A and B are shown apart, each in its own frame.
With several copies, the nearest count.
Chain A
Amino acid sequence: MKRLIRYALIGAFALAPFALQVASAADPAAEAASAVTAVIEAAAPAEAPAFTDLEGFAGSPGYATFTANNIWMMLSAGLVFIMHLGFASVESGLTRSKNTVNILFKNTLIPCIGLLTYAICGFNLMYPGGDFAGKWFGFAGFGVSVGADPASQVANLTSAYNAGYTYWTDFLFQGMFAATAATIVSGAVAERVKLGTFLIFSTIFVAVCYPITGMWKWGGGWLQALDTPFYDFAGSTLVHSVGGWGALAGVIVLGPRLGKFVGGRVKPIPGHSMPLAVIGVFLLWLGWFGFNGGSVLSADPALTSLTLMTTCLAAAAGGVGAAVTSWILLKKPDLSMALNGILAGLVGITAGADQMSAMSASLIGLIAGVIVVVSVIFFDKIKIDDPVGAISVHLVCGIWGTLAVGIFGNLAGTAQIISQLKGIVSIGVFTFAFALVLFLVLNAVMGLRVSPEEETEGLDLGEHGMEAYPDFTTVSPH
């Protein structure tokens, strides 16, 4: 019976596009344009000759710039997409081989589910359009569509929609983004969470929770309407902390893995493949070229190149910071910490990547690298068992990065710090509460954690009846 419900739910998401209603031609996302639009608008000058069909637009002077912008945004969508492989690799690399199929399965399905739910409702919850400006919630109806008539296609597929991209590019870029929040949770609850329950959590989380808080800022909601607007360039808070709060809620409800805290002592449970973890982190770094670079929402040369430079310097400094910190604190340089440090630097710079100098970016990354090492050790101390360090990387450094916007760079100032705190706290409270309640309800209804026997034997056999590496002799479960 339970099983049936599970199938029905999952199946529904795939079938639902049938029920899509045509979204209003009104541009739901254009209003989300960030503070950087001045330059972009200049690129598509107001006096551009009006065009009535796609051919007319193709002959217009702004077409080349728009095409270039749209290329950049489509590639950014592709780069954000490859972050899902990055997450899959990091998370499976930093956990045990007996749970690898399970983790890979989750990380394979989450982007699939995320994209589909974003098409059904997420996109229109997050970017409900100008009618909901300054609000806490809005919804532009189910489904995605550019409309059938030429006029609505011009409205949606040319610079009339947005100077930087078409409606479809917008949807795809934002959809790839959305699923990352759910993926962050998956690493923290790995090696003990029931597959079906987790997939339902993720689906609701990505379809409802993430878009709602996303709307507060990027959808033109109340955080955007503050006197000193909350600033979160590419989502230190809106994406990473959101994922991190979900992760924290999950870990609290689940409890630690068997054998992690024994007799008051922390027993490390090493991940099974460092090469996988490294592949994952490099792919995530690469993906961040699109995650941050695409968040410029156009290919504006000055802003995109600034953003990539700050992003890469922060990542580099984060890696060095964590490596040195672990070397000093732990006597030996810990590869997994260096990897977490790179991610910490990336998460840290994300909120202000377009507002920093090379120097500030390096410093933000360096501090994130130090923070993440201390944070990982701290969470172990308080018996929060997070196998891959997701809470430290995404939640803690997400908060750090959001605050850093008020401390460094162009926007630094007390008013900004206060707005940043408003954003951090409001989104934190909402998301943590949402995730906690959802996890508790699911736990009560269908169970959240696998049996101890299954956990000992591995979720691959228990949930999937498969092994990740059937040819290899693996050592006994720890």
Chain B
Amino acid sequence: MKKIEAIIKPFKLEEVKDALAEIGVTGMTVSEVKGFGRQKGHTEIYRGSEYTVDFLPKIKIELVVPDKTTDQAVAAITKASKTGKIGDGKIFVLPVDSAVRIRTDETGEEAL
């Protein structure tokens, strides 16, 4: 099993979710994060003073998939979330030792 962590632009979430659903991914966990990277933040002004907001809103998607689905899932996310403009984000793949479905005590790929 692998854990895929994708940092994407927020308005791409729906498309990515649909793309993953299409290839049979049935579960994922999403959170709001702030990203710092090549895409520069924007300048805001408040009461006469400028300041830079370095951290931009991003969405992090985490999903654990069977080894064999990994590449397909990464490809699906890449395709669905690409705009070609700076700040599109990253996908990281991490090894997973084990998984449990709390409701049933199933473990391993059964649990996903």
Which chain A residue lies CB-closest to B56?
A457
Among the 9-residue stretches A178-186, A326-334, A397-405, the one with 4 or more Cβ atoms under 8 Å from chain B is A326-334
Cβ contact within 8 Å between A268 and B46: yes
A376 interface neighbour in B11, B43, B48, B59, Cβ under 8 Å: B48
Residue B37 is within 8 A (CB to CB) of chain A in the complex: no
B16 CB, nearest partner CB in chain A, Å: 12
> Which residues 15-62 of B have a CB within 8 angstroms of A?
32, 42-51, 57, 59
Residue A279 is within 8 A (CB to CB) of chain B in the complex: no
Cβ contact within 8 Å between A475 and B44: no
Take A461-B42, A465-B42 as given contacts and tell me if A477 and B10 are in contact as well, using a CB distance cutoff of 8 Å. yes
Number of residue pairs across A and B with beta carbons under 8 Å? 60
Cβ contact within 8 Å between A331 and B45: yes
Residue A91 is within 8 A (CB to CB) of chain B in the complex: no
Cβ contact within 8 Å between B45 and A476: no
Complex Cα distance, B43 from A460, in Å, reads 12
Residue A67 is within 8 A (CB to CB) of chain B in the complex: no
Cβ contact within 8 Å between B45 and A465: yes
Q: Mark A178-213, 1 if CB is under 8 A from B, else 0.
A: 000000000000000000000000000000000000
B11 CB, nearest partner CB in chain A, Å: 6
Residue B13 is within 8 A (CB to CB) of chain A in the complex: yes
B44 interface neighbour in A329, A389, A467, Cβ under 8 Å: A467
Residues on A with beta carbons closer than 8 Å to the beta carbon of B44: 268, 270, 461, 465-467
Cβ contact within 8 Å between A389 and B51: no
Cβ contact within 8 Å between B49 and A380: yes
Residues on A with beta carbons closer than 8 Å to the beta carbon of B57: 474, 476
A249 CB, nearest partner CB in chain B, Å: 22
Complex Cα distance, B43 from A329, in Å, reads 15
A458 CB, nearest partner CB in chain B, Å: 10
Cβ contact within 8 Å between A476 and B51: no
* Chain A count of residues within 8 A CB distance of the other chain: 28
Cβ contact within 8 Å between A337 and B49: no
Complex Cα distance, B13 from A465, in Å, reads 23
Cβ contact within 8 Å between B49 and A334: no
Residue A266 is within 8 A (CB to CB) of chain B in the complex: yes
Which chain A residue lies CB-closest to B42?
A461
Cβ contact within 8 Å between A476 and B49: no
Residues on A with beta carbons closer than 8 Å to the beta carbon of B11: 456, 476-477
Which chain A residue lies CB-closest to B30?
A476
Residues on B with beta carbons closer than 8 Å to the beta carbon of A234: none
Residue A103 is within 8 A (CB to CB) of chain B in the complex: no
Complex Cα distance, B42 from A40, in Å, reads 59
Residue A124 is within 8 A (CB to CB) of chain B in the complex: no
Complex Cα distance, B44 from A461, in Å, reads 7
Complex Cα distance, B44 from A269, in Å, reads 11
Residues on A with beta carbons closer than 8 Å to the beta carbon of B59: 476
Which chain A residue lies CB-closest to B57?
A476
Residues on B with beta carbons closer than 8 Å to the beta carbon of A467: 44
Residues on B with beta carbons closer than 8 Å to the beta carbon of A477: 10-11
Which of B46, B49, B57 lies at the interface centre, i.e. has the most chain A CB atoms within 10 A of its CB? B46
Residue A296 is within 8 A (CB to CB) of chain B in the complex: no
Cβ contact within 8 Å between B13 and A476: yes
A-B contact pairs, 16 of them (CB 8 A): A267-B51, A268-B44, A268-B45, A268-B47, A326-B48, A330-B48, A332-B45, A334-B47, A336-B46, A373-B48, A376-B47, A380-B47, A380-B48, A466-B46, A474-B57, A475-B32
Q: A334-B46, A336-B46 are in contact. List 17 more A-B contacts (CB 8 A).
A: A267-B49, A268-B44, A268-B46, A268-B49, A270-B46, A330-B45, A330-B48, A334-B45, A377-B47, A377-B49, A461-B44, A465-B44, A466-B44, A466-B46, A474-B32, A476-B59, A477-B10
